[in-house]
Amino acid sequence: MAQNCIGGALSPSKTLTPKCIPINHPNPSSLSSSSLRKLILTKSKKCLPLSVCISASMSSSQQHQPPLSLEALKTSEHRNKFLNAIQSSLSNCLSETHLDLTVPGLKSKTRGKVRDIYDGGNYLVLVTTDRQSAFDRVLASIPFKGQVLNETSLWWLNKSQHIVPNAVVSAPDKNVTIAKKCLVFPIEFVVRGYVTGSTDTSLWTVYKKVVRNYCGNVLPDEMVKNQKLLENILTPTTKAADHDVPVTPDEIIQRGLMSRADYEETSKRALQLFAYGQRVAIKHGLVLVDTKYEFGKAPDGTVFLVDEVHIPDSSRYWIGHSYQEHFWNGLEPENVDKEFLRLWFNDHCNPYEDKEDWFLN
């Protein structure tokens, strides 16, 4: 994975203004906003920007806000605006980028499951595409997905600077973040508040296999799926090339993946970030169930929060007011993340082993 670090002074506004570019971090001319704006898309997005739909929906609903529910979202008066914007852009998803072939100064490209990362010397250009991934593979592309993920992450990065610094240089496009480089720790800090999930490393998957000590956390007996833990726990994984592997704190230190001091600092910040995210989420009618964080170290030794933060691609969110009722009735919580996609694939195939052609049929 490319060595990257995201953070810095951000404007919470969705529009791109000079406030996105800190004076202390001049943007290289070879990575100018105008160049990126012209070259970022392999196909132009000519449909109504999603942010316009969101703004219209939010402004009209601020006066009266009933409890958030999936049914309310489905029957909202703005539903057709969202559907029309998405449907008109189905053929214009941002699935692939090739900035290394068109922007001077970009040396190489690393293609992740969702992000394309370009090396710009002292900087990285991170393009969040519309690709949809699950179970360590890319399944499809969804209009506006990259924009939603990038702007959501930038919002959280800005809001969480009181907990841990980050190093965003600028956001010249709704799908793009330019960041300073740093040494990224080879660990994903997964924080969980509930016994749930459907992937191989999720807490419910291992719990139902009678695992009661997971990543150094002792779990009580007789818990059920989607039950809240007594306290939030950290279940770190190594950043393997094809599949994340759970690891204990002692193993991380013994294997030299991190020093004890660095691990203690980052694990503390991860738990603080998660608790803060839960507080913000519940104020907006949501439950932040679990998520992951990545951290890196600058040359001066400063620890930074890197990669995306609290986005629905790497976090589980449930509708808050209906959680208890669904839990007591043995129903899956109403969710606003990609868990529905994971559950569907789990029910219809072996998502880790079935061949690619199965997904295309």
Enter the tokens of residue 274. 């998660």
198 vs 361, higher pLDDT: 198
pLDDT number for residue 37: 45
Lowest mean pLDDT among 44-58, 94-108, 292-306, 310-324: 44-58
310 vs 168, higher pLDDT: 310
pLDDT number for residue 25: 38
In the predicted model, is pLDDT for residue 10 greater than 70? no
pLDDT number for residue 133: 81
In the predicted model, is pLDDT for residue 172 greater than 90? yes
Do residues 342 and 198 touch, judged by C-beta distance below 8 A?
yes
As a whole number of angstroms, the distance between CA 342 and CA 361 comes to 17
CB-based contacts of 159: which residues, under 8 Å, 6+ apart? 12, 280
If you write DSSP's letter for every residue of 267-308 in order, what string do you get?
A: HHHHHHHHHHHHHHHHHTTEEEEEEEEEEEE-TTS-EEEES-
As a whole number of angstroms, the distance between CA 83 and CA 192 comes to 33
Residue 55, SS3 per DSSP: helix
Answer positive or negative: Cα dihedral of 312, 56, 18, 106: positive
Q: What is the pLDDT of residues 335-357, one digit of tens each?
A: 988 777 777 777 877 767 776 65
Average pLDDT over residues 186-196: 97
pLDDT number for residue 242: 65
Q: What is the pLDDT of residues 254-282, one digit of tens each?
A: 999 999 999 999 999 999 999 999 999 99
Percent of the chain having pLDDT more than 90?
54
- Predicted confidence band of residue 84 (pLDDT cuts 50, 70, 90): confident
Answer positive or negative: Cα dihedral of 201, 205, 210, 213: positive
Query: In 3D, which of 314, 337, 333, 351 has the Cα closest to residue 196?
Result: 333
Q: What is the pLDDT of residues 43-74, one digit of tens each?
A: 333 333 333 333 333 334 444 556 666 676 66
pLDDT number for residue 68: 63
Q: What is the set of domains in the chain, with CATH numbers?
A: 99-180 (3.30.200.20), 183-348 (3.30.470.20)
Q: What is the pLDDT of residues 24-49, one digit of tens each?
A: 334 443 444 444 544 444 433 333 33
As a whole number of angstroms, the distance between CA 353 and CA 237 comes to 21
